[in-house]
């Protein structure tokens, strides 16, 4: 149950070790309550508090923002969103505070219930707004794609950038049954194994078989980052240029007003 494909703020090193036990326990109890009702489908905000729902609605407005001609300002975000809505899977949105631990995690994607038929997986996209608010923005945050994460964006636009990254993971993973199974087996089961392995043997001397699994997991995690990073770069560009367009309109209006 443990282990997320995670997106860190500031740095692009993405080889996390394991997730938080609490999330697995919580996921199980949610699964139980849902098991007798019809499967939920699409992007699902049932798990958000009222405060987080307000934040979420601000993000959603960004996803669906249009220019004066009615064209989407952020087509990549909108496209990813629509693909998830149509996917047949349920993607729960969760938001978490930074908590006590100093964390660098901005967002995560996780398969909560793997459907062997590939028809109705349950997955989680989790955003960490506090971490995103605190994220370092500067030359050292430059990504492979050449953009600097969050640069020039407002608070909710940064959340939308991370959402874009996680939605790209969701589309890429959930749309391919083999890949989804690999996420479940190569990442999530390995993390679970590693956690219980560590409890029994400690983490000092890792046996070759465990080492092999971890290496395989890390290589796969790295592979999964590529399409998500590429999508995030596009999302960032669209957010940044949408902002410029808005500013242009605003200064035009101000200019017109003065005359
Ligand atoms: Zn990622």
Q: Where are the alpha helices (DSSP H) in the chain?
A: 21-34, 50-63, 75-85, 129-134, 155-174, 177-182, 190-201, 208-258
Neighbours of 241 (CB within 10 A): 13
Residue 15, pLDDT above cutoff 90: no
**Alpha carbon of 128 to ligand 1 centroid (Å):** 13
Type and span of the H or E element at 122: strand 122-127
CB-side neighbour CA atoms (13 Å) of 69 = 4
Confidence at residue 101, expressed as pLDDT on a 0 to 100 scale: 61
Displacement of CA 130 from its chain's centroid (Å): 15
Residue 225, pLDDT above cutoff 90: yes
**Alpha carbon of 182 to ligand 1 centroid (Å):** 16
**Alpha carbon of 196 to ligand 1 centroid (Å):** 25
Q: Give the mean model confidence (pLDDT) for residues 78-92.
A: 98
**Alpha carbon of 198 to ligand 1 centroid (Å):** 25
Report the 3 state secondary structure along 142-210.
Answer: ECCCCCECCCCCCHHHHHHHHHHHHHHHHHHHHCCHHHHHHHHHHHHHHHHHHHHHHHHHCCCCCCHHH
**Alpha carbon of 145 to ligand 1 centroid (Å):** 14
**Alpha carbon of 232 to ligand 1 centroid (Å):** 9
Between 2 and 84, where is the model more confident? 84
Residue 132, pLDDT above cutoff 50: yes
Total domains in the chain come to: 1
Q: Which residues span the domain enclosing 93? A: 5-258
Confidence at residue 243, expressed as pLDDT on a 0 to 100 scale: 77
**Alpha carbon of 12 to ligand 1 centroid (Å):** 9
Per-residue pLDDT tens over the stretch 163-199: 999 999 999 999 999 999 999 999 999 999 999 999 9
**Alpha carbon of 250 to ligand 1 centroid (Å):** 35
Q: What is the largest CA-CA distance in the chain?
A: 76
Q: Give the mean model confidence (pLDDT) for residues 139-146.
A: 83
**Alpha carbon of 174 to ligand 1 centroid (Å):** 14
Q: Give the mean model confidence (pLDDT) for residues 18-47.
A: 61
Confidence at residue 13, expressed as pLDDT on a 0 to 100 scale: 33
**Alpha carbon of 51 to ligand 1 centroid (Å):** 26
Confidence at residue 18, expressed as pLDDT on a 0 to 100 scale: 34
**Alpha carbon of 26 to ligand 1 centroid (Å):** 23
Q: How far apart are alpha carbons 10 and 150 in whole angstroms?
A: 9
What share of the chain has pLDDT > 70, as a percent?
78
Neighbours of 69 (CB within 10 A): 5
**Alpha carbon of 33 to ligand 1 centroid (Å):** 29
**Alpha carbon of 166 to ligand 1 centroid (Å):** 6
Q: Give the mean model confidence (pLDDT) for residues 123-151.
A: 90
Residue 56, pLDDT above cutoff 90: yes
Per-residue pLDDT tens over the stretch 199-224: 999 988 899 999 999 999 999 999 99
pLDDT band at 142 (very low <50, low <70, confident <90, very high): confident
**Alpha carbon of 70 to ligand 1 centroid (Å):** 31
Identify any residues that bridge with 113 across adjacent strands, giving them in sequence order. Answer: 122
Confidence at residue 258, expressed as pLDDT on a 0 to 100 scale: 42
**Alpha carbon of 254 to ligand 1 centroid (Å):** 40
The chain-wide mean pLDDT, for the chain, equals: 84
**Alpha carbon of 73 to ligand 1 centroid (Å):** 23
User: Checking DSSP bridges between strand 105-113 and strand 122-127, what pairing results, if any?
Assistant: antiparallel
**Alpha carbon of 129 to ligand 1 centroid (Å):** 16
């Amino acid at each position: 149950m443990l282990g997320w494909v995670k997106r860190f703020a500031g740095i692009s090193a993405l080889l996390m070790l394991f997730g938080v036990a609490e999330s697995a326990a919580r996921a199980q109890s949610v699964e139980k309550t849902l098991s007798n009702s019809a499967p939920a489908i699409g992007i699902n905000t049932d798990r958000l508090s009222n405060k987080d729902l307000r934040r979420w609605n601000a993000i959603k407005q960004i996803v669906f923002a249009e220019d004066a001609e009615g064209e989407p300002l952020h087509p990549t975000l909108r496209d990813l969103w629509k693909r998830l809505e149509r996917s047949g899977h349920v993607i729960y949105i969760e938001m978490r505070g930074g908590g006590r631990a100093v964390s660098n995690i901005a967002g995560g994607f996780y398969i909560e219930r793997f459907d062997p038929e590939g028809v109705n997986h349950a997955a989680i996209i989790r955003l960490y707004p506090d971490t995103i608010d605190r994220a370092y923005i500067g030359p050292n945050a430059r990504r492979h794609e050449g953009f600097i994460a969050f640069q020039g964006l407002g608070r909710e636009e940064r959340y939308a950038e991370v959402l874009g990254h996680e939605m790209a993971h969701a589309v890429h993973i959930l749309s391919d049954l083999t890949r989804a199974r690999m996420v479940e087996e190569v990442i999530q089961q390995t993390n679970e194994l590693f956690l219980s392995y560590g409890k029994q043997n400690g983490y000092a001397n890792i046996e070759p078989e465990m080492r092999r699994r971890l290496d395989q997991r890390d290589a796969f995690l790295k592979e999964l980052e590529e399409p998500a990073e590429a999508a995030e770069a596009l999302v960032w560009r669209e957010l940044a240029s949408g902002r410029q367009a808005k500013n242009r309109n605003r200064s035009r209006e101000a200019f017109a007003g003065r005359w």
